[in-house]
């Protein structure tokens, strides 16, 4: 009869708002982001140290207290957005604290620090309809909501559409660094991941809050 109110531990532990799918960079992400950075890797290495990123993420972005960032699991725009407004326990860095140029340089450094091995996931064609079915059958919606909207109750971030690259997405599913339960290849195959990813990509964009009167009162 007595129940844990939240997955794993009580949400009264603020620390739970951390490390669910997509909330954080995976610890062993080894995929190449889909965009290339125009930044300067050497300057980025210096900036990475100067701004004390290395304190949590290790001097080569290999991960320490915080997750590994090399190679970066997100495209540069998402990477920048996350640094400005982190969803987990990372403190936010304003443009005054770390400029966009610095972030592009850091991104280039992280790309060069640990090049990603080749992956066959990006070669798979995802079936969005089947992905929607698997998304429900495998219980993704239990924490992330039916359209991947995420939930503060479950500490699951929004994943529709996914911010991660498909490789980072797959690696997090298989070996999450936070509280999300691991879905191994036996349970969710590469094709399943590709289908789920396609489903999440296929979701229509959310309406803007400013266009919804009920959200402006």
Partner 1 sequence: MVRKSKKGSPKASIDRRAFLKSAAVGAAALAANPTTSRAQQIEARNAPPPPLPAEAEIGTPAKLDVLTETRSGSDFMVDVIKSLGIEYVCSNPGSSFRGLHESVINYGGNKNPEFITCCHEESSAAMAHGYAKIEGKPLAILAHGTVGLQHASMAIYNAWCDRVPIYIIVGNILDATKRIGAVEWSHSVQDAAVMVRDYVKWDDTPASLPHFAESAVRAYKIAMTPPTLPVLLVADAELQENPIPDNLAVHIPKLGQFTPPEGDSAAIAEAARMLVNAQNPVLLADRLGRTPAGMKNLVDLAEALQAPVISRPGRMNFPSRHPLNQTDRANALIREADVILGLEMSDFWGNVNSFRDQMRRTSETLIKPGTKLISINSDDLYTKSNYQDFDRFPEVDLAIAADGETTLPALTEAVKRLLTDDKRRAGEARGAQLAKVHQQTLARDREAAAVAWDASPISTARLCAELWNQIKDRDWSLVSTTPFISNWPQRLWNMDKHYHYIGTQGGYGIGYGAPSAVGAALANRKYGRLSVNIQCDGDLMYAPGVLWTAAHHQIPLLSVMHNNRGYHQEVMQVQIMADRRNRGIDRATIGTTITTPNIEYAKLAQSMGMYGEGPITDPKDLGPALKRALEVVNRGEPAVVDVLTQPR
CA-CA distance, 199 to 86, in Å (whole number)? Answer: 25
To the nearest whole angstrom, how small is the minimum distance from the Cβ of residue 185 to partner 1? 10
Nearer to partner 1, 87 or 104 (CB): 87
Rule CB under 8 A: say whether 90 interacts with partner 1. Answer: yes
Nearer to partner 1, 4 or 125 (CB): 4
To the nearest whole angstrom, how small is the minimum distance from the Cβ of residue 88 to partner 1? 7
Rule CB under 8 A: say whether 6 interacts with partner 1. Answer: yes
Rule CB under 8 A: say whether 27 interacts with partner 1. Answer: no
To the nearest whole angstrom, how small is the minimum distance from the Cβ of residue 176 to partner 1? 8
Phi, psi of 122 (to 5 degrees): -70, -15
Rule CB under 8 A: say whether 193 interacts with partner 1. Answer: no
Contacting residues for 100 by C-beta, under 8 A, at least 6 apart: 80
Choose the binding region for partner 1 from 25-33, 45-53, 121-129, 183-191 (rule: CB under 8 A). Answer: 183-191
Torsion of CA 18, 53, 174, 177, to 10 degrees: -40
Q: Are 5 and 152 in contact (CB under 8 A)?
A: no
Phi-psi region of 206 (alpha: psi -120 to 50; beta: other; left: phi over 0): beta
CA-CA distance, 120 to 205, in Å (whole number)? Answer: 28
CA-CA distance, 11 to 3, in Å (whole number)? Answer: 13
Q: DSSP 3-state assignment of 161?
A: coil
Q: Per-residue contact track with partner 1, 96 to 125, x per CB under 8 A? A: ------------------------------
CA-CA distance, 67 to 55, in Å (whole number)? Answer: 11
Indicate which single residue of 92, 95, 115, 118 sits in contact with partner 1 (rule: CB under 8 A).
92
Rule CB under 8 A: say whether 11 interacts with partner 1. Answer: yes
Nearer to partner 1, 42 or 184 (CB): 184
CA-CA distance, 32 to 114, in Å (whole number)? Answer: 9
Indicate which single residue of 72, 178, 194, 197 sits in contact with partner 1 (rule: CB under 8 A).
178
Judged by the rule CB under 8 A, the positions of this chain that interact with partner 1 are 1-19, 65, 85-86, 88-92, 137-139, 141-143, 145-154, 158, 160, 178-179, 181-184, 186-187, 206-209, 212, 214-217
């Amino acid at each position: 009869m007595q129940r844990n109110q939240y997955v794993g531990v009580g949400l009264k532990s603020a620390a739970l708002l951390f490390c669910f799918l997509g909330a954080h960079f995976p610890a062993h992400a080894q995929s190449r982001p889909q965009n290339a950075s125009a930044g300067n890797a050497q300057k980025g290495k210096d900036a990475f140290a100067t701004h004390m990123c290395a304190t949590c993420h290790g001097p080569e972005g290999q991960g320490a207290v915080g997750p590994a960032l090399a190679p970066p699991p997100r495209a540069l725009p998402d990477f920048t957005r996350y640094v400005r407004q982190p969803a987990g326990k990372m403190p936010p860095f304003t443009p005054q604290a770390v400029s966009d140029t610095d972030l592009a340089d850091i991104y280039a450094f992280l790309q060069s620090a640990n090049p990603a091995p080749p992956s066959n996931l990006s070669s798979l064609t995802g079936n969005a309809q089947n992905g929607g079915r698997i998304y429900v059958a495998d219980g993704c919606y239990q924490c992330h909501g039916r359209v991947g909207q995420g939930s503060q109750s479950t500490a699951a971030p929004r994943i529709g559409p996914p911010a991660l690259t498909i490789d980072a997405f797959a690696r997090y599913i298989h070996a999450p660094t936070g509280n999300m339960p691991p879905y191994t290849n036996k349970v969710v195959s590469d094709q399943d991941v590709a289908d789920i990813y396609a489903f999440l990509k296929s979701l229509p964009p959310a309406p803007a809050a400013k266009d919804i009167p009920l959200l402006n009162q």
